[in-house]
Amino acid sequence: MDQFLLQSCWWIPCYGLVGAVLTLPWSTGMVRRTGPRPAAYFNVLMTLVAFVHGMLAFQAVLGQEPKALILHWFKAADLDLSLALEISPVSLGAAQLVTGMSLLAQIFAIGYMEKDWALARFFALMGFFEAAMSGLALSDSLFLSYALLEMLTLSTYLLVGFWYAQPLVVTAARDAFLTKRVGDVLLLMGVVALANLAGSLNFPDLYEWSETAHLSPTVATLLGLALIAGPTGKCAQFPLHLWLDEAMEGPNPASILRNSVVVACGAYVLVKLQPILVLSPVASTVLVGLGTMTAIGASLVALAQIDIKRALAHSTSAYLGLVFIAVGTQWTNVAFYILFAHAIAKALLFMSTGAIIVTTSTQDITEMGGLWSRMPATTTAYLVGAAGLVGLLPLGGFWALREGINIYWYDSPWLVAILLLVNTLTAINLTRVFRLVFLGPPQMKTRRAPEVPWLMAVPLVSLSVTTLLVPLMLQQLYLLPDLDYINWVTVLLIALSGGIGCLIGANLRLSRVWVRPIQAPLKFVQDLLSYDFYVQRLYEVTVVWSVSTLSRLSAWFDRYVLDGFVNLVGFASILGGESLKYSISGQSQFYLLTILIGISVFGALLAFLTR
Amino acid sequence: MLSFLIGLPILSAVAIAVLPKPMNGDNGRAIALLTMLIALIWSVLLGFKFDVGLTTLQFEENLSWLERLGLNYRLGLDGLALPLVVLNSLLTWIAIYSTDPEVTRPRLYYILILLLNAGVVGAFLAHNLLLFFLFYELELIPLYFLIAIWGGARRGYAATKFLIYTALSGILILVGFLGLVFLSGANSFEYDVTLAQTLPVSAQLILLSILLVAFGIKIPLVPFHTWLPDAHVEASTPVSVLLAGVLLKLGTYGLLRFGLGLFPEAWAIAARYLATWAVVSVLYGAFTAIAQKDMKKMVAYSSIAHMGYILLAAAAATPLSTLGTVFQMVSHGLISALLFLLVGVVYRKTGTRDIDVLRGLLNPERGLPLIGSLMIVGVMASAGIPGMMGFISEFMVFCGSFSVFPVQTLLCMVGTGLTAVYLLLLVNRSFFGRLPEQFAELPLVEWRDRIPSLILTLLIILWGLQPGWLAHWSETTLTALLVGQGELATPALIAPIDASTRSPAAL
């Protein structure tokens, strides 16, 4: 039985895909009588099946050696593409996280999207999304991972662009696709180069190759940079980070997944690539550099956001920055800790956000207030999620940070400072959002705010409980340190940084009318942060400008120079004929003369050439 | 066997012409559809009977015709031609099916399309150089009329431009072939005979460059491409489908068969420049496409960019990259045909193709939601999203070419990024957003408009998921084609550092 469960692991991604295909009759409008609900049920059911299958397989694989499952897909000439799957506790655990989150998000979505006419289409996309992500978790081949990352790009585009009639959504979907595509194309360059250098694209072969490979430093650096470009786009790291912020225009259930597991998928691929990245020291340095910049920058930017989803999305970028640092310093276990804790806590925060948005019909935190007494479950969820993210109470985020600080303590103390700083800034941000949304007097839009219906409340509460149980899960997997080995200084530092953050956040002067501070420097800083360091503007005047100028230039060249020349030749020949026709006089002497001149010129030319 | 593929369309063209007057357009349409359906089934059957292990020609037919000239009616099928023959039958059927049933002068229209099909099949099957040239020219005439009679406002200009360009290409082909035969002193235009020639490299280079220009016009490669956007914009949808889907492939087919096949030594010398030429073509086509406002023009320029990949792969001439050329030909044929079909539906329903005017066509109630969804699929396939045919063919092209021309391959990959830019702009501008009032009363999209696109979409996904079904047809032939290419094709395992020391211009 166990063997069968493990051998059929490749079904797990297929369930989502089947669910997506099953919705087609509803999403194309062929079945109208039932309404779109059955499509949603099918998808939830398929995800449930995937979850159960994954759970049983996970139980079966615990304590076993990792195994590979290879499906030969395409073999032509010297190219052998096989779809290799890894069956190990880590990969199945990751798939489990994906299907679990997807299940909760989909149940949540039935409530959240209740009145949306395109419910079936939404669920088709969610099924597709889930399939790509759980495939990524299981994949043991760079080719398959690349292909699935592209699928994720596509489905992100479609999910962000779900409400395509709104202008902001249109640009958001476009930016999401193009930014990720930049990363993907660079990654493809790396993949193609690796296929030629290593001869195989399965991770075990690649690891083996990388141990003995001798590359010139330039090639190694370029390869490393190309390989990290893909995850950089996926994980919304500087300089490819803007899409995540804009993607918040999409439906909230998709945002739940996007901010927890989708970004984690990018990071997961990065972790998988880490043994190859070691070939290039520059790539590791760049990883740490990008991670540091994004972690601090995005934490600061988050402080100035007034859109509740955007405030949280920037903090996602920040935490993924920490993951990048961890991978860059070769500590992949720290990366896994942070990814796991962050995924669950952030998903819960976004679920709570979704509950708020659906009740108040706004995303602007300055328009909210006093929700704590009206929506107790949502408030609890937010608090639990925040506690799970910030290192203050001994929940997931705390243990993840502890692991990181423990490791960096002696080697690179400055990374400890960064971890603590990000922790403090996140705590400030979460406290600030909490005060604006839940405390204070109720406002126009929050006065009549009933708690969400059960379809949304059930996932909300169950995820809250899960978040609280994260330390227990870590305990079960023997990932928590013994009490004797705990360095109490680090524990104190983490709690202190989190506590200071909360205190600052609690005492920050917040104005709901959001009048700008009068002092000029403060205003400048505020604008700088709320406009994301003007990075978007920077792109407009650099990348976008140069591409559009080049394209206009080449179109102009094509139309006026190339085609102009062609038309000129045509015009000249017509003109020649038109003017020569006047030489037809009817006098044979004239014709003879013309022939004579022509032949003499030709003869002279021949004599000259053959001399 | 093979003559049937050529004879059947010609016979039914004659039938449509001579059948008595009450025969209206519908009958002509039915006959043409039935003919192409039979031809399609026939070519697929040939595919099943095709022995994939053989490197020789199959289903050969040989009739002596003008022995003195060296012109024989010699047909044969191999793995390079087979996918293109099937593609040709399929796309012709689709073109006829998607024709407006109320088309003016229906009899002439269907006759011309059938003749066009016969000409193209003949060119793919011919194994005599002169016979190839004859079919190559034969295909030109019906296409000229198809553009000139059923085209848009500036059809006269576009058709004449097309005619002059392609006739020039035909003449250059003839010059190349004649030169080859005269210089090598052979007495026959048989492909096998010319294959055995041993000309000095300088003569080979001259002949190859003549053929390169000739086929470069047809493919088209920058700077010989300006006829294509005009022809596409003015041609009606079915003609655009055929033009992009099949006729451009004659150029790349010729390049592989007569360029790479006949002049291997010269090809090895020219390869480096050809790869650079491919980069220019890809980037130029892509950048120009970004600035276009007319959907059809945009897709036309994207064709130029995508055909550039074929040149890159042909230049690299590794076993994988040559197989990639066949894949890229078929995938471009299907994807560009799909895009032109969809643009055609949009144009018929809204009356414009201007992406600055179109908005919100995905609107579920009053817009074109299914057409829009298929458009997204087509766009993604063209941009090379995995799971569809565009990806695997581009991947093969890039993987196969990288070991020989690393820098050029990387630059061509930038082209795939740019493909995403312009096609996404197309979808975003015309399908997303709010449907304006002027498009509130769009005519109903019938199933007739959707079926051809659906068939193509299914095929694109099917071959994207199961590329092996296509690969096994072509692999043996293409490996055999490369026998003379040993020195150029470096083993895939050699690092690019190595390649760079060997050819300084490559890095």
Q: What is the 3-class SS of B293-309, one letter each residue?
A: CEHHHHHHHHHHHHHHH
How far is A305 from A432, CA to CA, in rounded Å?
A: 11
Q: Do A551 and B287 touch (CB under 8 A)?
A: yes
Determine the residue of chain B that is closest to A550 in CA distance. B287
Q: Do B433 and A164 touch (CB under 8 A)?
A: yes
Listed in sequence order, the residues at least 6 apart from B278 whose beta carbon sits closer than 8 Å to its beta carbon are: B221, B308, B309, B311, B312, B315, B408, B412
Is the same domain home to A496 and A413?
Answer: yes
Residue A174 is nearest to which of B392, B400, B424, comparing CB atoms? Answer: B424
Q: Do B364 and A118 touch (CB under 8 A)?
A: yes
Chain centre distance of CA B30: 26
Measured between beta carbons, the chain B residues lying within 8 angstroms of A118 are: 364
Measured between beta carbons, the chain A residues lying within 8 angstroms of B495 are: 197, 215, 219
Which residues sit opposite B66 in a β-bridge? B71
Determine the residue of chain A that is closest to B412 in CA distance. A189
Is the same domain home to A127 and A146?
Answer: no
- Tens digit of each residue's pLDDT (9 = 90 or more) over A238-276: 888 888 888 888 898 999 998 888 989 999 999 999 988
Show the DSSP H helices in A82-198 as ranges. Answer: 89-112, 119-138, 142-160, 167-198
- At residue B333, the pLDDT reads 94
Q: Do B428 and A117 touch (CB under 8 A)?
A: no
Which residues sit opposite A69 in a β-bridge? A85
Smallest CA–CA separation between A566 and chain B, in Å? Answer: 8
Q: Do A548 and B290 touch (CB under 8 A)?
A: yes
> How far is the first Cα of chain A from the last one, in angstroms, to the nearest whole number?
93
- At residue A514, the pLDDT reads 55
Q: Do A77 and B318 touch (CB under 8 A)?
A: yes
Measured between beta carbons, the chain B residues lying within 8 angstroms of A151 are: 385-387
- At residue B395, the pLDDT reads 92
B223 cis-preceded (ω within 30 degrees of 0): yes
Is the same domain home to A523 and A543?
Answer: no
Residue numbers in chain A where pLDDT is lower than 50? 517
- At residue B507, the pLDDT reads 34
Q: Do B370 and A28 touch (CB under 8 A)?
A: yes
Q: C-alpha distances in angstroms, A459 versus A352, A462, B259, B314? A: 10, 5, 64, 56
Smallest CA–CA separation between B22 and chain A, in Å? Answer: 40
Measured between beta carbons, the chain A residues lying within 8 angstroms of B298 are: none
Q: Do B402 and A195 touch (CB under 8 A)?
A: yes
Is the same domain home to A474 and A599?
Answer: no
Which residues sit opposite B64 in a β-bridge? B72
- At residue B502, the pLDDT reads 37
Helix (H) or strand (E) holding B66: strand B58-66
Tokens of residue B396, six digits? 């093969």
Using only the alpha carbons of chain A, give its radius of gyration. Answer: 30
- Pseudo-torsion of CA B421, B425, B428, B429, nearest 10°? 170
B220 cis-preceded (ω within 30 degrees of 0): yes
Is the same domain home to A45 and A169?
Answer: no
Residue B284 is nearest to which of A161, A552, A554, comparing CB atoms? Answer: A554
- At residue A33, the pLDDT reads 83
B126 three-state secondary structure: strand
Checking ipTM against 0.85, whether it exceeds it is yes
- At residue A333, the pLDDT reads 87
- At residue B176, the pLDDT reads 92
Q: How many CA atoms lie within 13 A of A543 on its CB side?
A: 13
A·B CB contacts under 8 A: 153
Q: Do B424 and A151 touch (CB under 8 A)?
A: no
- At residue A513, the pLDDT reads 60
Q: Do B421 and A189 touch (CB under 8 A)?
A: no
Is the same domain home to A477 and A495?
Answer: yes
| Residue A107 contacts residue A126 (beta carbons within 8 Å) | no
Residue type, A282: V
pLDDT tens string, chain B, 507 residues long: the values are 788 889 999 999 998 888 776 655 568 888 889 999 999 999 999 888 888 877 778 888 888 888 888 888 888 888 889 999 999 999 999 999 998 888 888 888 999 999 999 999 999 999 889 999 999 999 899 999 999 999 888 899 999 999 999 999 999 999 999 998 888 887 788 887 777 777 888 888 999 999 999 999 999 998 899 999 999 999 999 999 999 999 999 999 999 989 888 888 889 889 999 999 999 999 999 999 999 999 999 999 999 999 999 999 999 988 888 899 999 999 999 999 999 999 999 998 888 888 888 888 888 878 888 888 999 999 999 998 888 999 999 999 999 999 899 999 999 999 999 999 999 989 988 888 888 888 878 888 888 888 999 999 999 999 988 888 888 888 887 777 776 554 444 333 333 333 333 333 333
Residue A76 is nearest to which of B370, B414, B475, comparing CB atoms? Answer: B475
Is the same domain home to A131 and A248?
Answer: no
Is the same domain home to A249 and A358?
Answer: yes
Residue B399 is nearest to which of A153, A174, A192, comparing CB atoms? Answer: A192
Residue A562 is nearest to which of B226, B391, B400, comparing CB atoms? Answer: B226
Residue type, B382: S
Q: Which of A140, A155, A189 is the last residue of a domain?
A: A140
Residue A151 is nearest to which of B284, B318, B386, comparing CB atoms? Answer: B386
| Residue B92 contacts residue B113 (beta carbons within 8 Å) | yes
- At residue B349, the pLDDT reads 87
How many Å is the maximal CA-CA distance in chain B?
73
Measured between beta carbons, the chain A residues lying within 8 angstroms of B395 are: 188, 192
Residue type, A430: L
Q: Do A558 and B288 touch (CB under 8 A)?
A: yes
Tokens of residue B267, six digits? 């090809």
Listed in sequence order, the residues at least 6 apart from A94 whose beta carbon sits closer than 8 Å to its beta carbon are: A137, A138, A264, A268
B494 three-state secondary structure: coil
Listed in sequence order, the residues at least 6 apart from A224 whose beta carbon sits closer than 8 Å to its beta carbon are: A276, A277, A279, A280, A282, A283, A284, A286
Measured between beta carbons, the chain A residues lying within 8 angstroms of B414 are: 185
Is the same domain home to A487 and A543?
Answer: no
Chain B interface, best mutation among A185, A186, A223, by max B CB count within 10 A: A185
Q: Do A566 and B385 touch (CB under 8 A)?
A: no
Is the same domain home to A439 and A452?
Answer: yes
Chain A interface, best mutation among B421, B439, B445, B458, by max A CB count within 10 A: B421
- Residue range(s) defining the domain that contains residue A581: 539-609
- At residue B21, the pLDDT reads 65
Q: Which of A140, A163, A191 is the last residue of a domain?
A: A140
Determine the residue of chain B that is closest to A165 in CA distance. B433
Is the same domain home to A255 and A219?
Answer: yes
Q: Which of A114, A140, A166 is the last residue of a domain?
A: A140
- At residue B484, the pLDDT reads 54
pTM, rounded to two decimals: 0.91
- At residue B232, the pLDDT reads 92
Query: What values do phi and psi take at A87, rounded to 5?
Result: -110, 95
Which residues sit opposite A139 in a β-bridge? A85
| Residue A424 contacts residue A416 (beta carbons within 8 Å) | no
Chain length of chain A: 611
How far is B482 from A151, CA to CA, in rounded Å?
A: 35
| Residue A559 contacts residue B293 (beta carbons within 8 Å) | no
Q: Do A76 and B386 touch (CB under 8 A)?
A: no
Residue A552 is nearest to which of B291, B467, B492, comparing CB atoms? Answer: B291
Is the same domain home to A153 and A112?
Answer: no
Chain length of chain B: 507
Number of domains in chain A: 3
Q: Do A554 and B288 touch (CB under 8 A)?
A: yes
Residue B424 is nearest to which of A117, A178, A552, comparing CB atoms? Answer: A178
